[in-house]
Structure 1
Amino acid sequence: MSSFRKNVDACNDGNAPKGYCANQDYSEGSDYLVHDIAQHTNLRSGPHELLSRGVLGKRKLPVSPVKMLVGREGNCTGRGRFSSADGCHVLSRYLPVNGPRWVDRLQSRAYVSQFSADGSLFVAGFQKSHIRIYDVDKGWKVQKNILAKSLRWTITDTSLSPDQRFLVYSSLSPVVHIVNVRSAASESIANITEIHDGLDFSVDGYNDDDYDALGIFSVKFSTDGKELVAASSDNSIYVYDLESKRPSLRIPAHRSDVNTVCFADETGHLLFSGSDDHLCKVWDRRCFGTRGKAAGVLIGHLEGITFIDSRGDGRYFISNGKDQTTKLWDIRKMSSKTPYTRRPRDSDFDYRWMDYPTHARALKHPHDQSLATYRGHNVLRTLIRCYFSPAYSTGQKYIYTGSSDGSLYIYDLVTGAQVASCHGHEKPVRDCSWHPLYPMIITSSWDGVIARWEFPGSEEEPSEAGGRRQEKEKEGLAFED
């Protein structure tokens, strides 16, 4: 039995080593999350009760895949096959934690990395203007090597269009650039080998000082590919219409930098945002009677919010906070009249260069509206990102996050147990991405390494990324200074 599986069972039995399981702030016992999302998750990732016959009543123990296979071959469910939930139950037991095996390495901090929706492509963005798009199905061959234009400090975010034809990338600038991913050029150097069109997110009324101060921290395509939503340093959310090539909406959303924003579901009506003012907000574009009026506010973080990921159902989302926690939210608990309140402590913590005060880790917001809190990782130095695990292979049973200690952490959504942690980077893991179909996670770190974690893992031995980098340099594909 693998070490992480032993620790999962130990967490469920209450015998895990100290500090291994997530801090269970808001419940007691093994039923960490008593809410309908727990029921939904169990329905999406649990085996049919007839396949689990003989182990009913032992809810703490996962049903053996062997027992499920026997039940399937005996057609005890009458379907003659596994349901999607049965498959998720089997697949979710085999976490992609074997590694790391290097995908690539540059002499530049990796800031963003994401699989495409179908998992065929992988995008990685680095501080020194570099973006690489890898063809996953062709042995991680670099399909397109992009040298970004007009970069300020770093690439803050990238987003692939739903049809995988275009990539947008943002920086600490009001202009977001768009690149044709399907063009013939393998080396896309801005306005030399290819045109990188600029999409100006500033609106009428900006003076020169305001314009220079505007930077984009997060940018995402809508499901239909017709709009972009962006979070900015001027405390606002922007919606950009790609057909008219102009911003269609600016929302003065928060009292500090908006670090993250995303669409809540496929409709594009609802937006979730998170800010350094430590608030999560929900925005409904259908009822903007009062411009800038949020549909609701969710309080619970003690520090600024670095990232938000939606479950995709328009109801639940998770957020990473500089208070060193990930929180789970249900927008039905939001309040439309929640006043802005100061954080319940008086220290001048700055996450960019300070460690989080030890005494502050025990503090809890007096009006916390979150469903659950997950602890164990560190959110320091940079805007660390967190996500729900894939619906196809896990039923979104887990949440996972990077960490400033150079690790990846995976938590059970319902029990709160830290079911795995992957250690292999020398510097903060800012972003991470779980393959939508297969047991594979990619981590990107400030050490410049893009690393692959799998189950069970390939036969190759872990090796440093320098060899792959040298191969690319020989092929003339590296843009390093």
Structure 2
Amino acid sequence: MYFGPSEIDADEMGYAMSRLEIEADFCDAGKDFCGVGSSSGSQRSSEHLPDLDHEISQVTKLRSSPHQRFSREVPGRHQLPVSTVRMLAGRESNFSGRGRFSAADCCHMLSRYLPVKGPWLVDQMNSRAYVSQFSTDGSLFIAGFQGSHIRIYNVEKGWKVQKDILAKSLRWTVTDTSLSPDQRNLVYASMSPIVHIVDVGSGTTESHANVTEIHDGLDFSSDEDGGYSFGIFSVKFSTDGRELVAGSSDDSIYVYDLEANRVSLRTVAHTSDVNTVCFADESGHLILSGSDDNLCKVWDRRCFIGRDKPAGVLVGHLEGVTFIDSRGDGRYFISNGKDQTIKLWDIRKMSSGVPARHEVLRNYEWDYRWMDYPTEARDLKHPSDQSVSTYKGHSVLRTLIRCYFSPAHSTGQKYIYTGSNDSSVYIYDLVSGDKVAVLKHHTSPVRDCNWHPHYPTLISSSWDGDLVRWEFPGSGEAPIMSKKRVRRRHFYY
């Protein structure tokens, strides 16, 4: 974590924290935060472009920078974080004229305290962890494992297991899970056209499919499939909880109407596996998809131009897209790619079709499931790259590794973070591209990780079976590594 030359000293921070305890109403976002910061210095990737010169950089700064009266800008010098004490004193003196901190002031303070301390063990399983996600309000945490288990933890009750689900008809692994907005139902997918739904709100802790509870099956296949069995890589609830959107191994996007209990839309979206789908904003009109055909596509359900034709295409990845996360504003999203990069996109830059120069000729043979990325490919750039910015340093190998924007409430989405094949979690500054933190603990690829929507807490899950918690400031004992590991078969997706 980077503070620069004006790093907060212990006396200053102690005074600041005492003021935070006395005046707990300083902002809703920070009411439960405390601790002393540490600095490890940030690293700028040599492959990264200069600081982002785009509208999103200004929007990010507006959402995470303090009021101008708090800061002292020196021409020609890098703008350093404003002291917490200075901001508290400024509020006491009513520098801003508002008598309180703004949301941006809060984000500026809270985003400096990254969840980098620890880790502390949450759970340990004898199978690979594939999925880990907080609920929207942060009260629950869901983890899906290859060995048919999905566990829901109650965060507010000391990470107690609230629901221990044994999945039904699991093919290979739990590929994705999604919790409904009202937190009453959970869906889980595997390499099957059947998505199962579980009642999270029931009083039963042990949920064994069709033994202790019924796991209803939602069939995404149709008569047109002719018996072909495809798998679902990605599934998400809509904001109103009435629909599911899914991406599949038959190159398609599906929308499932839960009230009608049927597939309401299927479109052949790509020319290869659709690894990831999500809604671009709360309206549910725009769907984003990413595929092994290297493309990101935008689909507008209000105006389908033609069958299987997207509203726009975004080109830039040299290899397949493993995951997409939307900023939630219907404009920006990030994608993780097998070309070992995260890319930031502006939907308004999309083209109506695939550019003629999309196909980049390889002069090497490579399979990400068991081979390292070729050295000669690391400096290649797509000739028609439409992305806003590119972030490098982590590795996307062996599995569909995920990436995300940091929480809006506490950081103003000024960071992006990702798991990595090198067993670490990487946190990047969105605007500068700096690696502000690298979290190391695991012994196998970190496929998924998730930042609490309100608190400085991050959970990482790995193929080593460990689910661990990173915090600021952190407390408790460090995790104890188990010496017993189940031998894993070398199959990946």
Which residue identity lines up with residue 362 of structure 1 in the other structure? D
Q: Paired residue for 1:424, among 441, 444, 457?
A: 441
Q: Paired residue for 1:317, among 333, 345, 352?
A: 333
Q: 1:7 to 1:127 in 2, by over 3 A?
A: farther
Say which SS state the counterpart of residue 85 (structure 2) adopts. Answer: helix
Aligned match of 2:141: 122
Say which SS state the counterpart of residue 63 (structure 2) adopts. Answer: helix
Q: Paired residue for 2:366, among 342, 345, 349?
A: 349
Q: Paired residue for 1:5, among 2, 10, 23?
A: 2
Which residue identity lines up with residue 315 of structure 1 in the other structure? R
Alignment of 1:90-109 (within 5 A): 90-109=109-128
C-alpha contact (below 8 Å) 1:43/1:85 kept by paired residues: yes
Aligned match of 1:274: 290
More displaced stretch, 340-349 vs 281-290 = 340-349
Distance (Å, rounded) in 2 between the aligned partners of 1:9 and 1:225: 47
Q: Does 2:315 align with 1:299? A: yes
Say which SS state the counterpart of residue 302 (structure 2) adopts. Answer: helix
Say which SS state the counterpart of residue 362 (structure 1) adopts. Answer: coil
Q: Does 2:131 align with 1:112? A: yes
Aligned match of 2:413: 396
Aligned match of 2:30: none
Q: Does 2:225 align with 1:202? A: no
Identity of aligned pairs, percent?
A: 69
Aligned match of 1:153: 172
- Runs of 4+ residues deviating >4 angstroms: 6-10, 53-59
Aligned match of 2:157: 138
Q: Paired residue for 2:470, among 428, 440, 453?
A: 453
Deviation readout 1:49-103 (Å, 9 max, x if unpaired): 0122476875431111111111011111111111010000000011000111110
Q: Does 2:119 align with 1:86? A: no
Distance (Å, rounded) in 2 between the aligned partners of 1:23 and 1:259: 29
Unaligned regions of 5+ residues in structure 2, if any? 8-39, 486-493
Say which SS state the counterpart of residue 344 (structure 2) adopts. Answer: strand
Distance (Å, rounded) in 2 between the aligned partners of 1:105 and 1:420: 24
Aligned match of 1:384: 401
How much does 1:291 deviate? 1.4
Q: 1:8 to 1:462 in 2, by over 3 A?
A: farther
Aligned match of 2:43: 20
How much does 1:465 deviate? 6.3
Deviation readout 1:85-132 (Å, 9 max, x if unpaired): 000000001100011111000000000000000000000000010000
Q: Does 2:304 align with 1:288? A: yes
C-alpha contact (below 8 Å) 2:305/2:311 kept by paired residues: no
Which residue identity lines up with residue 82 of structure 1 in the other structure? F
Distance (Å, rounded) in 2 between the aligned partners of 1:433 and 1:303: 24
C-alpha contact (below 8 Å) 1:8/1:418 kept by paired residues: no
Deviation readout 1:225-245 (Å, 9 max, x if unpaired): 000000000000000000011
Distance (Å, rounded) in 2 between the aligned partners of 1:304 and 1:295: 20
How much does 1:345 deviate? 2.1
How much does 1:203 deviate? 2.4
Distance (Å, rounded) in 1 between the aligned partners of 2:191 and 2:311: 28
C-alpha contact (below 8 Å) 1:103/1:465 kept by paired residues: no
Deviation readout 1:310-335 (Å, 9 max, x if unpaired): 00000100000000000000011110
How much does 1:7 deviate? 7.9
Residue correspondences, number: 451
Aligned match of 1:472: none
Which residue identity lines up with residue 20 of structure 1 in the other structure? Q
Alignment of 1:44-63 (within 5 A): 44-53=63-72, 58-63=77-82
So what's the TM-score if we normalise by structure 2? 0.89
RMSD over aligned Cα atoms? 2.0
So what's the TM-score if we normalise by structure 1? 0.91
C-alpha contact (below 8 Å) 1:22/1:411 kept by paired residues: no
Deviation readout 1:408-466 (Å, 9 max, x if unpaired): 000000000000000000000000000000000000000000010000001x1202265
Alignment of 1:243-262 (within 5 A): 243-262=259-278
Q: Does 2:254 align with 1:235? A: no
Deviation readout 1:370-422 (Å, 9 max, x if unpaired): 00000000000000000000000000000000001100000000000000000
Unaligned regions of 5+ residues in structure 1, if any? 11-15, 470-481
Q: Does 2:206 align with 1:183? A: no
Q: 1:7 to 1:126 in 2, by over 3 A?
A: farther
Q: Does 2:87 align with 1:68? A: yes
Q: 1:56 to 1:224 in 2, by over 3 A?
A: farther
Distance (Å, rounded) in 2 between the aligned partners of 1:253 and 1:453: 38
Distance (Å, rounded) in 2 between the aligned partners of 1:41 and 1:274: 25
